[in-house]
Amino acid sequence: MHRRTMLARVSAGLGAVALAGCVADENGDEGTPSESETDGGDGNETDGGDGNETDDGDGNGTAVSLADASLSLVHAGCGQQTDEAAVAFEADAGEVVVTGTIWGSDACKTARLADASYHADADELVVLVATEDRSDEEEMCAECITELDYEVTAAFDGGLPGKVTVRHSHGDDPTTVSTATRD
């Protein structure tokens, strides 16, 4: 699979962007970034430097932080209104993998990763998968409920979260479809 190569490239690009914002403050002076400038800014990533430490299972008490998260659409086809997800903790790879199915109102819908955020105070990863229209105005779409099978991979530094909550949104209030705890 090319997932690790893609994650490495995305991580390197995000690091360069984050570094560019830390070179100068708004007056053009060099300086150290403030705490709000180092948290990723969009709530999707954390830098782990907030002093919250979590036992990663080996007793080292290292800071856990979300390094990257991405969604891959695995399959899309007509089906039923299905909202389900399963969570796997892959300690050797430093990843949490969520496989699931969300439904769309027609065949022009696709799944997207609306949010992935790690909350250190609760030692919890929250994943929000939503549907969105993938069509352009001239595309014809099948009029059927569409099952969208996806895989979300969340890479962590410093260990894995103790809990994962997966939510789905169809344009309304998100619904929790799965909660898993690490053994």
| Chain segment 3-61, per-residue pLDDT in tens | 444 444 444 444 433 333 333 343 344 443 333 333 333 333 333 333 344 444 444 55
For residue 104, the tally of other CB atoms under 10 A from its CB is 23
Q: SS3 for 130?
A: strand
Domain count, the chain: 1
Sign of CA dihedral 17, 134, 3, 47: positive
Between CA 171 and CA 173 the distance in angstroms is 7
What's the pTM? 0.67
| Residue 141 domain boundaries | 3-181
Residue 62 pLDDT class (50, 70, 90 cuts):
confident
Q: Who's near 125: CB < 8 A, 6+ residues apart?
A: 66, 96, 116, 117, 118, 119, 154, 161, 163, 164, 165
Q: Compute the radius of gyration of the chain from its Cα atoms.
A: 18
